Structure 1
Amino acid sequence: MALIAVSWHGVAQDAAAPPPATKAVDTKPAVAAPATETPAADVVEIPLVHGSAAGIRTPSAPNAWGGERSGSEPTLSDRVVSYRIDAELDAAKHTVTGKQQMAWRNRSDRAVRSVYLHLYLNAFKNEGSTFFTERRVLTAHGRSRGAAVLKKGQWGWIDLERVQQGGASLKWSFVQPDDGPKSDETVVRVDLAQPVPAGETLTLDIDFLSQLPRVVERTGWWGDFNLVAQWFPKIAVLELPGERGATEVQWNAHEFHFNSEFYADFGSYDVRLTVPSDYTVGAVGEQQGEPLQANGKTTYHFIQGDVHDFAWVAAKGFKTLDGSYTGPGSPKVAVRVIYPPEYAASAQPVLKATIDSLGYFSNTLGAYPYRTVTAVVPPYNAAEAGGMEYPTFFTAEGYATIDERTSDQWEIDFVTIHEFGHGYFYGLLASNEFEEPMLDEGLNEYWDERMLRERNQRILVPSSWAARIGVRPSMDVFVQERMGAGLKSPYDPLSENAWNRFSSSSYGTVYSRTATAMHDLEERLGKPVMERAFREYYKRWHFRHPSVADLRATLIDVSGDAKNVNEIFDQYVYGTAFIDDRVASIDNEEVLPQSGVTDKDGKRNEVVAVELEKQIDKQRDAWDKSHPKAKPGEGPFPWRGTVTVVRQGAPVAQLLRVKFADGSSEDVHWNDQRRWARFVFDKPSKVVSAELDPEQKILLDANKLNDSRTAKGNAAASRRWTADVTALLQAFYSFLVTL
């Protein structure tokens, strides 16, 4: 299978040429001689963004992407591209035949001679794709979803059968902008018959055939279920100077990587879908009128403006459940859940979590602007199609039954909230998921957990011993996030691109470590300030394409606290710092009268040790008689307690809470660059315990178990932590298996 069409990679293709002989099954690539036409002298070659692009540090210009949207413009977004697609599903072969007319506006100040298209489905064409090549390497160093092995007849691809500009057939060739294997065919360069002048519009007519793969990850088929995503030729993004760190006009067109997702211009979609009449259909956008039926087939018509992708589902025997949402600033939103009969128990929870999410995200970030939301529950054996997002359309998770004694309900709610939330951070904010995944996956995870925390929805920790006595232990959602955040020795900065990672596990920390970092920043800035900052971030950048630098600039502008914002970004977003402060020791010394010679009032006095000991004993006896209920550690003499703390990672402002035997406590602040510090307390009673971060505000600390210490050892805490952590890990890995 790795040899499929290998001899044809990189060869310029002419849609009018007949397909060559090939050993590949049903791929039929159209191949012709390389193009020999010389570009016009006045057309400057526009460079491609290299695969090392990541972590932007320079904020975008105020007029980037047309500037901040005021709401008074004729369209919600500055629409760059429009797609009109007629597509028909062959349900037996899992193929989609498409005719597409794409109109793209050249926003730059120069003529464009070539454009780049994403052919994402070719990631599933053979094991020589960038996707499968990276999967072999990355999964060798960590866990991953999408581990299915494709067999004969289960591969997927997309064939360009005709590409025309004004009636002229165009040539194209596969390219690898990120220096991936030459056998990768997920990005194609199309050379135009006529350059597109600055400010003018290019229209391409494209015929294509998409073969869906058996579900590996995100898209594909299983049985009579077809999730049709990444399925049509999609133009790359032309970035201008001042946009996401760009210093020149450049094409942003990355290969389909194993860990990356997507990036595209806002525009409009007008799509007609023809499927067998006994199939249930759902898609991005609003359905136009009643579907048309003829000859056992039904055609559905969907339109949606101001989005940057289009996906749909066609499945036999699936059912629907409908609801709605109304809220300030939003149109009435029709909410639909499409689900298989075996997961009927999940339909109502998914519907409720979706409607609740509409309310939370609208109230905390900005009003939801579209008229529809569609959630799809994939069937058994197609779980890898679950947990994926598209504008106004996402896939959730299914359960045959929901056991209230387990975390089933929490997991359904979390996945639903998370995928809906992408509609804001991936959809409306439209960050570049290739280069800055933390802006989508990470920020969305953080905001999702805030919603769950607002609902007081904790994750249940399975525990057999607790169940026997009727106890249901639970854990705060942010505590759970930090446990999977790889805080002790992170390999990659959060701002790194999606694929240049040590492993899939390291990429996975983009979710949890970002959520943890934003949690800690919220603790520093305050909850109201963080909420205002994120609302402002959404206001400035929705229907545009912000960078990490734009997020940082907004946080600083709103909070006025550059020190704390820059510290989090420099250490954790752009860097790989970690925190690990610990209480190293507690030492108590009773402050007794001292023997020896002293001078006072011109007289010299000598205290003999033997006599002093008798005096001390006499004072102790008298104190014990007068204090029959005294606690251990109290007495007639004061105590000097010394608490030593050690810093093994990045500096962070710490609160140290010290407790004494008489029940009193004292808080001190450790907020300097010292690698260790000693705090001395002269008190009536001895120190019994010391704890850093007693209010659990610093979840970035890699080891919370060493944050506290008692003067006298007690194994109860370690036994409890060991049991709880073991139970949580069992639940976490069980959850991963379902994703």
Structure 2
Amino acid sequence: MVSYSIQASLDPATRTVSGRESIVYRNDTRSTMSDLKLHLYPNAFSNTASTYMHGIAWDDRLTQGRLERMRDEGSWGSMKVLSVKGADGADLTGGAAIDETVMTVPLPSPVRPGESARIEVAWETRLPRTFHRMGYWGQHYDVMQWFPKPAVFTDAGWKVYPFYRYSEFFADFGTFDVALTVPRGYLVEATGVPDAARDNPDGTRTVTYRAADVHDFAWIADPNALVAREVVAEGPYSAAPVEVLYVHQPYRRGMAPRILEAARQGLLYYGQRFMPYPYPRLVIDDLPMGLGGGMEYPMLFTVSMAWFVPRLDTAPEEVTLHEFGHQYWYGIMATNEFEEPWLDEGINSYVTRRAMDRVFGAGRRGRTVNALFAYGAARVLADGVQANLGCATLDLAQLLGFHDTPFRPVEGGLLGYPVSPFDLNLPGLTDGRFLYGKQAYADSARDDPITTPSWGFHPGSYSAMVYDKTDVALETLGRLLGGDLLEQALRAYVRRYRFTHPTAQDFFSVVQETAAQAHPGLDLRPAIEQIFRGSGTLDYAVASLRSREVIEPQGYLPPARAGEAPLDRTALPAPDHRAARYETELIVRRLGEVALPVEVLVRFESGEERRETWDGRSTWKRYTYEASSKPEAAIIDPERIYAIDLDVNNNSLTLERREAPLLRLGLIWLFWIQNYLHLAASLS
């Protein structure tokens, strides 16, 4: 438990925040504490050689461009610690050692379990030009990771880490009493609940915010910003309403209804399924000109979008729901994002996708031109079989989808799809969000386990593993459990571990408890070990399906006893096809490293079905049948339980080649090619 009392002021002329803080850190462990370790996050933006800057991918041109601009302008960020004092006023500054983004302060005397340490720190934070999570743009200030903040002390010592490019945060819960002073005329919003503003004689204004049961504090200041407000007082919030504030630039006025509605839906979705949002306020900071990206802090989060977003594009709703979700998985649960980033980002991605599908629809009908854009942009510009159109490259292979074909047959309409002069219900849009995430994971499928710490991922695979693979893995876990059992497990996890620091093992234990109650005997450990803690892939396939008519043996058959003559079967009558029997051979294969039990279905022309359960341990297995009819098709994992299966196109095979679907897909190819050729011609 940490108690903060902070006084800070913003000087726009120098783009600095000057502050003093009193920190009381209570030792709630069973170990004695001899020092305090504090994060100095702004130093990550102080030079090109910082651990953070070294983590920027070489091919991340956008970020490298921003870094180059910082270098040219000299708009670096930094934190200068001016003094550190003990509770008795003793000067501890000389003994405080700084290693880039971590400061170690030796304490005058050991702090035993149950006791508290108190220090006072004076510092200055220089804000960089907006860079990922903090900074300024014009007169807009996002003051985040801005004060010296203690790391987490445990029985095993301090959990403290450098500020890596892909790491986020880990801190103890506490209380904040923060007085913020800005030039009069600046709008201020922050974590917590504000007191009445106080105007000062020097032309500044001070607002004090108080917050409890939070583990960070962020604030924004802007003389031009507007605020749209809505109070959510329905459903779980009828007795404890939540005020939602959308802070935005004047040109964003039109976006306010969409963002506020998305926040309202998020409050209701989470409040009804997991637990009500426990704070009285929620601030949404819309970063100017799409800078900085979405980022979460207690009671406040940022969103970032292009300056123009068409109505059909649900990106504003999705980023709002996603960042709001962090109020739970990052804020209320407070997992260790350095060591286990997937517990926040991955679970949040899974719940966000389901929330978007539930609240805003899995796939919505819209204007034909918008639907074509939404579908084509996602499917066309990727690697594969390509056609050069001069000004653009058309990827023909992706029109069939990646690993999971998007085309679904429906009755009526053009080429089997509902269509009119005004709208087009494009195939595959209903699976769009899931398939996009699955494609992103597939590109880096074998790079790392989900449970890799934030600093240990193969370059370029952090997002694919932490966000996308976790989403697909949780979807698989949910299908293994069936129904809404995973949602029940998530609810139990939230309610049991809220305002603590749960680990991956805590999460898996709750999931296994939920499974045991609903399905006694279901053992999820093999799936958890291989899918979450392993880097192998899951890919089952129907390798071959063959059938032939059963005929009586012909020739000379060996006798049953010695001394007897062979049985003469050289002149049997012609077979009677009306009473024919057929033998069928099915071979299934495991192409990936993950070996889990899977169902196999064989469907015969007579309507008969045969179901098998294959343990998947060997790389292949043969099944043989004798039946009154030929097989129609064989399917492995017919219920699509394994959402993480990399290639579901090889999960089924028909005995006879069927050309009608190929004709349909060929016509759709021609349709797309024609449209993109028209587009290319109009742009040339």
TM over 0.5: yes
In structure 1, C-alpha distance between the alignment counterparts of 2:666 and 2:84, rounded to whole Å: 62
2:496 is the alignment partner of 1:583: no
**Superposition pairs for residues 537-576 of structure 1, below 5 Å?**
537-560=493-516, 564-576=523-535
**Superposition pairs for residues 248-259 of structure 1, below 5 Å?**
248=156, 250-259=157-166
- Which residue number corresponds to residue 148 of structure 1? 66
In structure 2, C-alpha distance between the alignment counterparts of 1:273 and 1:94, rounded to whole Å: 15
- Which residue number corresponds to residue 595 of structure 2? 651
Task: Give the 3 Å change call, closer, same or farther, for CA 689–223 of structure 1 in structure 2.
Answer: same
Task: Give the 3 Å change call, closer, same or farther, for CA 122–717 of structure 1 in structure 2.
Answer: farther
Question: Greater relative contact order (Cα 8 A, min sep 6): structure 1 or 2?
Answer: 1
What does the per-residue CA deviation read over 1:556-614, in whole Å, with 9 as the maximum and x for residues that have no partner? Answer: 223226853312321122222321111101111122455446799x99985555x74xx
2:229 is the alignment partner of 1:322: yes
- Which residue number corresponds to residue 168 of structure 1? 90
What amino acid does structure 2 have at the position aligned with 1:354? A
- Which residue number corresponds to residue 389 of structure 1? 296
What amino acid does structure 2 have at the position aligned with 1:581? Y
Q: Is the 8 A contact 1:346 1:398 kept in 2?
A: no
2:375 is the alignment partner of 1:462: yes
Q: Is the 8 A contact 2:243 2:280 kept in 1?
A: yes
In structure 2, C-alpha distance between the alignment counterparts of 1:393 and 1:334, rounded to whole Å: 12
SS in 1 for 2:167: coil
Deviation at 1:126, TM superposition (A): 0.5
Q: Which moved more, 1:576-585 or 1:283-292?
A: 283-292
SS in 2 for 1:148: helix
In structure 2, C-alpha distance between the alignment counterparts of 1:270 and 1:218, rounded to whole Å: 23
What amino acid does structure 2 have at the position aligned with 1:591? V
Q: Is the 8 A contact 1:90 1:96 kept in 2?
A: yes
Q: Is the 8 A contact 1:343 1:379 kept in 2?
A: no
Q: Which moved more, 1:119-128 or 1:657-666?
A: 657-666
Q: Is the 8 A contact 2:197 2:205 kept in 1?
A: no
Identity %: 31
2:651 is the alignment partner of 1:707: yes
In structure 2, C-alpha distance between the alignment counterparts of 1:650 and 1:445, rounded to whole Å: 23
Give the one of 260, 263, 270 matched to 1:361: 270
2:304 is the alignment partner of 1:377: no
**Superposition pairs for residues 612-627 of structure 1, below 5 Å?**
612=573, 615-616=574-575
Task: Give the 3 Å change call, closer, same or farther, for CA 721–319 of structure 1 in structure 2.
Answer: farther
- Which residue number corresponds to residue 13 of structure 1? none
2:491 is the alignment partner of 1:535: yes
How many residues end up aligned between the 2 structures?
A: 603
Q: Is the 8 A contact 2:527 2:596 kept in 1?
A: no
Task: Give the 3 Å change call, closer, same or farther, for CA 493–713 of structure 1 in structure 2.
Answer: same
Could you state the TM-score of these two structures normalised by the residue count of structure 2? 0.81
Give the one of 606, 617, 620 matched to 1:673: 617
In structure 2, C-alpha distance between the alignment counterparts of 1:470 and 1:393, rounded to whole Å: 38
Task: Give the 3 Å change call, closer, same or farther, for CA 112–443 of structure 1 in structure 2.
Answer: same
In structure 2, C-alpha distance between the alignment counterparts of 1:661 and 1:175, rounded to whole Å: 77
Q: Is the 8 A contact 1:582 1:645 kept in 2?
A: yes
Task: Give the 3 Å change call, closer, same or farther, for CA 722–672 of structure 1 in structure 2.
Answer: farther
- Which residue number corresponds to residue 432 of structure 1? 336
Q: Is the 8 A contact 1:429 1:538 kept in 2?
A: yes
What does the per-residue CA deviation read over 1:512-531, in whole Å, with 9 as the maximum and x for residues that have no partner? Answer: 11121111111112233322
Task: Give the 3 Å change call, closer, same or farther, for CA 160–266 of structure 1 in structure 2.
Answer: same
Could you state the TM-score of these two structures normalised by the residue count of structure 1? 0.75
Task: Give the 3 Å change call, closer, same or farther, for CA 491–118 of structure 1 in structure 2.
Answer: same
What amino acid does structure 1 have at the position aligned with 2:497? W
Task: Give the 3 Å change call, closer, same or farther, for CA 487–570 of structure 1 in structure 2.
Answer: farther
- Which residue number corresponds to residue 639 of structure 2? 695
Task: Give the 3 Å change call, closer, same or farther, for CA 488–300 of structure 1 in structure 2.
Answer: closer
Give the one of 576, 583, 596 matched to 1:640: 583
Q: Which moved more, 1:230-239 or 1:295-304?
A: 295-304
In structure 2, C-alpha distance between the alignment counterparts of 1:652 and 1:252, rounded to whole Å: 36
Structure 2: unaligned runs, 5 residues or longer: 364-370, 378-398, 400-416, 673-684
SS in 1 for 2:168: coil
Deviation at 1:390, TM superposition (A): 0.3
- Which residue number corresponds to residue 118 of structure 2? 203
Deviation at 1:498, TM superposition (A): 0.4
In structure 2, C-alpha distance between the alignment counterparts of 1:269 and 1:654, rounded to whole Å: 52
- Which residue number corresponds to residue 324 of structure 2? 420
- Which residue number corresponds to residue 395 of structure 2? none
Q: Is the 8 A contact 1:172 1:189 kept in 2?
A: no
Q: Which moved more, 1:270-279 or 1:459-468?
A: 459-468
Deviation at 1:352, TM superposition (A): 1.0
SS in 1 for 2:145: coil
Q: Which moved more, 1:511-520 or 1:585-594?
A: 585-594
CA RMSD of aligned residues (A): 3.1
Structure 1: unaligned runs, 5 residues or longer: 1-79, 177-183, 241-247, 624-635, 728-739
In structure 1, C-alpha distance between the alignment counterparts of 2:283 and 2:259, rounded to whole Å: 10
Deviation at 1:239, TM superposition (A): 0.7
In structure 2, C-alpha distance between the alignment counterparts of 1:386 and 1:686, rounded to whole Å: 57
Deviation at 1:372, TM superposition (A): 0.7
Task: Give the 3 Å change call, closer, same or farther, for CA 172–262 of structure 1 in structure 2.
Answer: farther
